[in-house]
Amino acid sequence: MDSYSSISHSLRLHAGADALKHLPRELGRLNARRAFILCGQSVATRTPLLHRLRELLGASCAGAYTRIGKDAPLQDVLAAVDAARASEADLLIAVGAGSVLKAARVAAILLAESGDPLSLATQYAVGMPPVSPRLLKPKLPLINVLTAATSAQNRSGAALRAADGGARLEFFDPKTRPAAIFWDSEALLTAPPSLAASTGVAVFWRSLMNAGAIRGANPLVQASRLHAYALARQALPRLHDPRDAQARLDMCAAALLQNRDEDDGGRPFDAHWIARVVYALGAALFNRYAHLDQGATHAILTGPAILCFGDLCPEAVQEMSAMLGLPASAVADPSRLVAAIDELLRPLGLPARLSDLSVPADGMAAVIDAAMFNFNADRERELSRHRDRLADLLRQAL
C-alpha cells in the first residue's frame, strides 16, 4: 500500500439530462468532420437515438453501421471496418453497451494496422505467458455514448466473439481509449429495464468481487472500490424502473470507478481466485452460447466458485462477507456468503442454474479449454492447474 503507481488518461465526461448537446463541441475539439456511428439493431430500430445523433452531427455524420451483434462477433466488426473505411471516417462514435464499445475499439485498430485480426490479437504460445502485440499506428479518436452501464466504457482492451465458439480474440491498445464519454439520461432510458438490470448485475458483481480485495489495495484503489460498491448496491434494485434515470447514471459511475481502480494500480479482473474463475468461465460461456448475458451468468457461477475456490482466498471470502453485513461468526463459512449473495440477487428474478438457460452439460469440457485463454483472469497461465476444480464448479452451476 505504500508503493504504487497511478496513470491518468485524458477524458471528457458529460452526464445528465441532455448531455448529448455537448457532442458537436467534442467533434470540434477533436477536429473531426466525418463521424461514423457504430451501434446495434435495437438502438437503430427501436429507439430515437440514432436519429437524434444524426441531427446533432448534421453534415459531420459520415454514416453508420447498425448491425453490431451481442458480444461483438468478429464478422460484424469486419463489416463495420469496411463501412467506416468507405465513408472516410475520421472519428468513431460507439452507441450502446459493452458489445458495441468493444467493437469500436477493435474497429479503430483494424482501420489503422496492417495484418489480419488473428495476428493483431493477443498471442498464446504453449507454456508461455500471453503476449499482446504492440500496435503502434495512430488510431481514430473514439466517443462512447452509453445506453447501459458497463466497465467497458473506458478501457484499452477488447475481446471479440469467435465464430467457432472457441476462445475469444483479445486486443489491447491504449490509443483506443475514448476521448469523451456520454451518460445522457434520455439515452440511458432507451434501454429496456431487462437490459439495464442485466448490465447492472454485471457491474454490481464486479464491485462485490473488488470488495473482497480492499484491505491490501492502495488508498486510491480502496476509495474507488468502496464507492463503486456503495453506488452499485443502492442502484441495483431500482434498475427495473423504466423512469429512474438516476439509478442508471449511478451504475455508470460505479462502472467508471472500476476503470479508475485499474488505472490507479488495482487488478480488478484478477483480484482473487473467485473473481478470476468466474470471469474466465463466464467469458468462455458467452463466446460459446451467444444467448447468455454477462450479469446472469456471473451470478450463477459465483456461488459454486466460492465453494470450489474460496479456500484459496479466505481473506476475500471474509471481506465480501463483512461487506454484505454478515456477523463475524459467519465469515469462516463460505456457504453463508453464498446464501447472502443469493438473498440479494433473488428479487431480480435471475435464473438459478446454467441449465435454466439451455446450456448443455456436454459442452463444459470445451468451456474449460476456452477459459485457459483469458489474459485478464490468467496472466500467469495458472488456471490449467485447477481443471478438476473448474469442472466441479461447472457441475454445481448446471
Looking at the 3D structure of the chain, how many domains does it have? 2
User: Which is nearest to 208 in space by CA: 230, 239, 193, 223?
Assistant: 230
Structural domain span for residue 88: 12-190
Query: Is 110 domain-assigned?
Result: yes
Same domain for 79 and 228, yes or no, is no
* Backbone conformation region of residue 315, classed left if phi is above 0, alpha if psi is from -120 to 50, else beta: alpha
The count of other CB atoms within 10 Å of the CB of residue 187 is 25
Considering the domain boundaries, does residue 2 fall inside one? no
Residues 230 and 326 in one domain: yes
* Dist. CA 257–CA 279, nearest whole Å: 18
Could you tell me if residue 1 is inside a domain?
no
Q: Is residue 355 part of a domain?
A: yes
CATH number, domain of 135, equals 3.40.50.1970
Q: For residues 171 and 246, state if they share a domain.
A: no
CA trace torsion 237, 239, 241, 242 (10° rounding) = 180
Same domain for 157 and 229? no
Residue 1: what pLDDT? 60
Q: Which residues touch 358 (CB under 8 Å, ≥6 apart)?
A: 289, 291
Same domain, 243 and 328: yes
Say if 5 falls within a structural domain.
no
Structural contact between residues 191 and 311, judged by C-beta atoms closer than 8 angstroms: no
d(CA 58, CA 207): 39
pLDDT of the residue at 17: 97
Task: Indicate if 27 and 147 belong to the same structural domain.
Answer: yes
One-letter identity of residue 177: R
Residue type, 112: A
**For 41-50, which contacts have Cβ atoms below 8 Å and span 24 or more sequence positions?**
41/66, 41/67, 43/95, 43/96, 43/100, 43/147, 43/190, 46/190, 47/147, 47/190, 48/190, 49/95, 49/145, 49/147, 49/187, 49/190, 50/95
Q: In the listed set 162, 190, 218, which residue is the last one of a domain according to the structure? A: 190
Q: What is the pTM of this model?
A: 0.92
Contact partners, residue 171, CB within 8 Å, separation at least 6:
105, 106, 109, 120, 121, 122, 132, 135, 157, 158, 159, 160
Whether residues 318 and 382 fall in one domain? yes
Q: Are residues 352 and 244 in the same domain?
A: yes
Residue 6: inside a domain, yes or no? Answer: no
How far apart, in whole angstroms, are the C-alpha atoms of residue 234 and residue 228? Answer: 10
**Do the domain assignments include residue 364?**
yes
- 205 and 150, same structural domain? no
Q: Are residues 173 and 321 in the same domain?
A: no
- 248 and 342 both lie in a single domain: yes
Confidence at residue 8, expressed as pLDDT on a 0 to 100 scale: 87
Torsion of CA 295, 48, 141, 146, to 10 degrees: -30
The reply to whether 253 falls in a domain is yes
Positions of the chain with pLDDT lower than 50, given as ranges: none
Q: What is the pLDDT of residues 275-330, one digit of tens each?
A: 999 999 999 998 899 899 899 999 999 999 999 999 999 999 999 999 999 988 87
Torsion angle (degrees, nearest 10) of CA 237, 243, 248, 250: -80
Residue 333: which CATH number?
Answer: 1.20.1090.10
| Distance from C-alpha of 14 to C-alpha of 154, rounded to nearest angstrom | 13
Q: CA of 301: how far to CAs of 190, 394, 395, in Å?
A: 29, 8, 10
| Cα 252 → chain centroid | 12
Domain boundary, last residue among 190, 224, 248:
190
Q: Compute the distance between CA of residue 86 and CA of residue 62 in angstroms, rounded to an integer.
A: 10
Q: In the prediction, which pLDDT does 269 show?
A: 77
Q: Which of 165, 190, 215 is a domain's end point?
A: 190
Cell, residue 145: 455514448
Query: Same structural domain for residues 182 and 223?
Result: no
In sequence order, which residues have a C-beta less than 8 Å from that of residue 92 and are 6 or more positions away?
Answer: 35, 36, 37, 38, 84, 104, 107, 108, 140, 141, 142, 143
Q: What is the mean pLDDT of the chain?
A: 93
Task: Tell me how crowded residue 290 is: count the other CB atoms within 10 A of its CB.
Answer: 12
Q: In which element (H, E) is residue 392 found? A: helix 387-397
